[in-house]
Chain A
């Protein structure tokens, strides 16, 4: 597979086809990150578009010192941060209730209409709990559990020591539990 950095070099010279390749390769990750940070598909799409447009404009500033994906995540986090500050319209109504999340552990691959509906409700509930977290805790939760990045990579993206990432993640998980409980009771 051609490394990102080669496509980046071509894109810097104005080759939009090279940038297409970069977008195709990273769009799912960036969209997913934006979706979990912003909480809905519409904002996630806007943020993904803005991320890639901003990335294209700033490609010349990419120093090749870190991985391109790390740099792109940084751009995406900044874009989402701006979007969060601007958007007040993404309050969503919660309709879902779930007893617990153990069904996710007992997923045996047999999808029934009921189990699909419960899963959807649980996802909604969990996303609502994530939305209630402070932005910095939300970032580490999404980057670690949804994007499957390592502490080291997250530290590089958000620009802080690994220890900070670890403690922030610990706090985030412990904040998430009561929020989930509250949502379930409501």
Chain B
């Protein structure tokens, strides 16, 4: 065995596999006929390789193709069903979308739209933009709900403002022929707060400190009609 034998052993498998160039075969045959170590290695490898080459080829089960075919058919059937269901769903969505668009279109073309129709239109547009695709009747319900909420809010604003306590009267209250003015001044923290009002009695303007109900000398900024109210210190004041 010489140094070349190590290199030869590395290529012996490929020689046995027939994967070396034909030009190398003469060298191999010559070397193997001379080198006993390589001959032994050659025989050992040959045994292993021959054993591998002679491994039996197991036959697949006779019904293998049929089994696969059945699985494929089942998959195709499921796929078709899913496709049909998907198309039906898409069709329903399209129909709903069409109805929504019709509703929007009708609302757009209606002249002098009343407030309910306006709210319906806004909802329809939002739903259309978000592509939520609910049934159009839901839009009407939602709009009706908002309309009712708006009405309740307006009623409350008109009749039930403040804490519910009856307005207090701001002095002076000596005559019916004067009008009241009040002003809004900023307090030290920068918050708008009504601190004083100015009233005009018989053509003479007088400033009132609302907290202390006494006269001040500041000029008025906002005119208020008689009967209007201001909120001060958690209480409502009415000018008479």
Contacts and interface: CB of A to CB of B under 8 A. Distances in A.
Interaction A to B? yes
A48 interface: yes
B30 interface: no
Interface in A99-139: 100-102, 104-105, 107, 122-123, 126-127
B75 A53 contact: yes
Contacts of A48: 60, 64, 68
A27 B72 contact: no
Interface in B60-74: 60-61, 64-65, 67-69, 71-73
Contacts of B45: 173, 177
B55 A45 contact: no
Nearest to B52: A145
Q: How large is the interface on A (under 10, 10 to 19, 20 to 34, 35 or more residues)?
A: 35 or more
A56 interface: yes
B64 A177 contact: no
A82 interface: no
A31 B60 contact: yes
B47 interface: yes
Contacts, number: 97
A19 B64 CA distance: 13
B19 interface: yes
B139 to A, nearest CB: 43
B51 A16 contact: no
Interface in B38-67: 44-45, 47-61, 64-65, 67
A23 B68 contact: yes
Contact of A126 (B52, B59, B60): B52
Given A49-B64, A166-B19, A170-B10, A177 B56 contact: no
B201 interface: no
By DSSP majority rule, is chain A's interface helix, strand, loop, or mixed? helix
A101 B48 contact: yes
A119 to B, nearest CB: 8
B118 interface: no
Nearest to B16: A173
A19 B19 CA distance: 35
A56 B72 contact: yes
B170 interface: no
B71 A169 contact: no
Contacts of A41: 58
B2 interface: no
A36 B53 CA distance: 12
A28 B58 CA distance: 8
A49 B68 contact: yes
Nearest to A148: B53
Given A126-B52, A169-B17, 17 more contacts: A16-B73, A20-B65, A23-B64, A27-B60, A28-B59, A36-B55, A48-B68, A49-B64, A49-B68, A107-B54, A126-B55, A141-B52, A146-B55, A170-B13, A173-B48, A177-B45, A180-B48
B51 A122 contact: yes
Closest 10 CB pairs of A and B: A31-B60, A145-B52, A101-B51, A104-B54, A170-B13, A23-B65, A52-B68, A101-B47, A35-B58, A173-B13
